[in-house]
Each structure stands twice: as C-alpha cells, then as structure tokens.
Amino acid sequence: MTITTAQILDGKALAHRLRKEIGTEVAELTQKHGRAPGLAVILVGDDPASHVYVRNKKIGCENVGFASFSYELPADTSQQHLLGLISELNRDPKVDGILVQLPVPAHINSETILEAIDPGKDVDGFHPYNIGRLTARKPALRSCTPYGCMKLLEETGLDLHGMESVIVGASNIVGRPMALELLLAGATVTVCHRFTKNLQAHIERADIVIAAAGKQGLIQGEWIKPGAVVIDVGIHRRADGTLTGDVAFESASKRAGWITPVPGGVGPMTITMLLANTVQAFKNHIGESDD
Ligand code: NAD
C-alpha cells in the first residue's frame, strides 16, 4: 500500500484569490452601470451562530464593493411580515440578491420563505427553480457550498469524468446539489445518508469523498483510498473553541492525495460563491450575462 501525505486544498487562499477577482469586476461594473451589485441579508431571531455567519457575509460584501442591505428581525416576526419584506426586495431594482439566513424560527416555514424569493435573486441557490436548472444540466444560480466544493476540486487539476465520488449527507443545501454538481462534471456519484448500510465500504472505494453529514470525525482516516480527494464540509466546535470537521483529519491526510482543512477549507469558499452568485445575478439583471 502506498502511503501518501496529502496536499492541502487551501480554501482560504483560493477564496482570497477569487474575492480579489470579484472585487476588480465589481469596480468595473459599478463604474459602467452607475450602481454596485446589491445583496440583502435577512436574519430572523437571535441564534448566535447565525449572527456570526451574517456578519461575515456583510463584511465579505463590503470588501468586494457591494451595496449591502441588512435586516435583523426579532424572533417573533410573523411569516406574513417576512413574506412582505421578501416581496418588497424582489421588486427593488437596487437589490440583486436576497438571502434569508437559516434556520428561521419554528413558526416560520422555511420552504415557503425560500420559494417566495425571486429565483433570479436567489443567490443561495436553494430555490426549486435553481435546483431544477442544475438537475437539467443548465445551472443558473448554484448552491454556494457545493459550488465552492467544485472550485476546490478544480484546484486538483484532476479530470473528474468517471471518478467514483461518494457524498456523505443528502440535505437539500449540501448533499443533494453536490450530487448534481458532480454528475454534471461527469463523475460517478453515490450519495450516502443516515440509512446507508456500511458507510466504510462506500468510502473505501471512493476517488472523491465529500463529507457533509454533520457528525464530528465520522469518516475515519483508515477508510480513505490512497490518493483520494477528501473535501470536508462539516463544521463542529470542540469544547476548547477550535473547529473540526466530519473527517479524522490527521489519519486521513496520511492517505489522501488532497484534503481540505477545517477551518480554512470549504467554509471561506461558501461565502465567496455567494459573492460570485450576486455578481452573476447583477449581470443577469442589467443584461450583461454570458448565459
Ligand atoms: P443536515 O443535518 O441537514 O444533513 C445531514 C445529512 O447527513 C443527512 O442527509 C443525513 O441523512 C446524513 N447523515 C447523518 N448521519 C449520517 C451517518 N452516520 N452516515 C451517513 N450519513 C449521515 O446537515 P447540512 O445542513 O447538510 O450540514 C452538514 C454539515 O455541513 C454540518 O456540519 C454543517 O455545519 C456543515 N455545513 C458547512 C458549510 C460550510 O460552508 N462549510 C455549509 C453548510 C453546512
């Protein structure tokens, strides 16, 4: 058996590079069209993790020169009120992207909310229209985390056609759109989930592992096929405050060919793809899209 020491897929560095390119493009677009791309971020309630995510998104927007509009609503905001705000933002010509930070409080139906966003402004890429476009091999606005994972995979320079890819997790926001992205790229796709029998056997034959189960250390390093690409989407906070993922990083990095760290892997790419989607939405709105 060949023992490899994995190359690190540095999401932080890639995100930095892409954000610089986005910033340059935004400056040109703003000068040409007399306004900057606008992103509206809506947060309902007091979830501390959501506050951190929203703050990071706001900083990301400002750093690339977007106009950022932020709505922090109390936890008892009615669904009706939230739908009213979305409808207003759907009509607002200064707003190219609308994002409702999940989770929303239990009395609000997240599906109803996500489906109320104009698909052309759905920069999270969660609307059934955008998922449908990806399913039909004509992606429009792509779900940010899977899109970021594809950019990381691109960094390996590997031809993904025919590669055995195993996704662990089948959520609407990560696992499922990830499967569609890999299928679009020509990979052979297996999706594992909580009912999968013998997860280890699936991982052992995978050339690409996408870990998105939300279970700390679920994927053991010894399961990784030598040379495989391992993308760890999971984020968990340890008791000492540090972050870790779904993959046992130390042992996995001795076998993988490429691996993403947590933090500094997928996380920075998710916000970067949100910024890229907002530029795309802006260009679609002003009729300057390549589509
Ligand atoms: P989720 O809870 O909605 O979905 C988890 C999925 O994993 C489900 O499909 C479930 O069936 C599957 N699963 C659970 N236990 C399993 C097991 N033992 N074996 C196989 N499959 C199993 O979670 P989510 O929203 O998709 O997020 C997953 C993880 O990714 C979380 O840790 C989350 O914090 C993280 N996340 C990170 C980013 C980022 O930007 N890095 C973005 C979104 C989510």
Q: Give residue 285 CA to ligand 1 midpoint distance, Å.
A: 33
Among the ranges given (2-6, 42-46, 172-176), the one the predictor scored with the smallest mean pLDDT: 2-6
User: What pLDDT, on a 0 to 100 scale, did the predictor assign at position 289?
Assistant: 77
The reply to whether 57 belongs to the active site is yes
Distance CA 50, CA 81 (A): 20
Q: Count other C-beta atoms under 10 Å from residue 232's C-beta.
A: 27
Crossing angle of helices 175-184 and 128-135, rounded to 10°: 30
Pocket lining for ligand 1, CB < 6 angstroms: 145, 168-171, 173-175, 192-194, 196, 199, 212-215, 218, 233-235, 266-267, 270
Residue 4 is predicted with a pLDDT of: 58
49-107 pLDDT, tens digit each: 899 999 999 999 999 999 999 999 999 999 999 999 999 999 999 999 999 999 999 99
Q: How confident is the model at residue 10 (pLDDT cuts 50, 70, 90)?
A: very high
Share of the chain above pLDDT 90, in %: 96
Q: How far is Cα 220 from Cα 109, in angstroms, rounded to an integer?
A: 36
**Does residue 291 carry a pLDDT above 80?**
no
Q: CA-to-CA distance for 73 and 17, rounded, in angstroms? A: 34
pLDDT at 290 over 90: no
Ligand 1 center from residue 267 Cα (angstroms): 13
Q: How large a percentage of the chain has pLDDT more than 70?
A: 98
Of the residues 52, 111, 194, which should be mutated to test ligand 1's pocket, given the most ligand atoms within 8 Å of the CB? Answer: 194
Q: What is the mean pLDDT of residues 185-193?
A: 98
Q: Is 101 a catalytic residue?
A: yes
Q: How far apart are CA 224 and CA 247, in angstroms?
A: 10
Which pLDDT band holds residue 3 (cuts at 50, 70, 90)? low
Residue 168 has pLDDT above 70, yes or no: yes
Q: Where is pLDDT greater, at 101 or 289?
A: 101
Report the residue count for the chain. 291
Q: Is the omega angle on the peptide bond into residue 139 within 30 degrees of 0, that is, cis?
A: no
Q: How far is the CA of 58 from the centre of ligand 1 (A)?
A: 24
CA of 215 to the centre of ligand 1 (A): 7
Sign of the torsion angle spanned by Cα atoms 69, 73, 79, 84? negative
Q: What is the dihedral of CA 150, 156, 162, 163, to 10 degrees?
A: -90
Residue of 171, 190, 196, 230 best suited for mutating to test ligand 1, as the one with most atoms within 8 Å of CB = 171
Q: How many whole angstroms from 219 Cα to the centroid of ligand 1?
A: 13
Is the pTM here over 0.95, yes or no?
yes
Average pLDDT, integer, range 142-164: 98
pLDDT digits (tens, 9 = 90+) for 248-282: 999 999 999 999 999 999 999 999 999 999 999 99
Asked if pLDDT for residue 37 goes beyond 60, the answer is yes
Please, how many CA atoms are within 13 Å of residue 163, restricted to the half-sphere of its CB? 22
pLDDT band of residue 286 (cuts 50, 70, 90) is: very high
- Of 197, 233, 237, 244, which is best to mutate to test ligand 1, by the most ligand atoms within 8 angstroms of its C-beta? 233
CB 45 within 8 A of CB 74: yes
> Are 90 and 242 in contact, with CB atoms under 8 Å apart?
no
What pLDDT, on the 0 to 100 scale, is given for residue 288? Answer: 80
pLDDT confidence of 1, banded at 50, 70, 90? Answer: low
Higher pLDDT, 261 or 5: 261
Rounded Cα distance between 268 and 16, Å, is 9
- Considering the chain, what is the average pLDDT of its residues? 96
Catalytic residue among 101, 121, 122, 151: 101
What is the three-state SS of the chain? CCCCCCEECCHHHHHHHHHHHHHHHHHHHHHHHCCCCEEEEEEECCCHHHHHHHHHHHHHHHHCCCEEEEEEECCCCCHHHHHHHHHHHHHCCCCCEEEECCCCCCCCCHHHHHHHCCHHHCCCCCCHHHHHHHHCCCCCCCCHHHHHHHHHHHHCCCCCCCCEEEEECCCCCCHHHHHHHHHHCCCEEEEECCCCCCHHHHHHCCCEEEECCCCCCCECHHHCCCCCEEEECCCEECCCCCEECCECHHHHCCCCCEECCCCCCHHHHHHHHHHHHHHHHHHHHCCCCCC
Residue nearest to atom 2 of ligand 1 (CA): 214
Q: Is 92 a catalytic site residue?
A: no
Q: Which of 96, 122, 124, 246 is catalytic?
A: 124
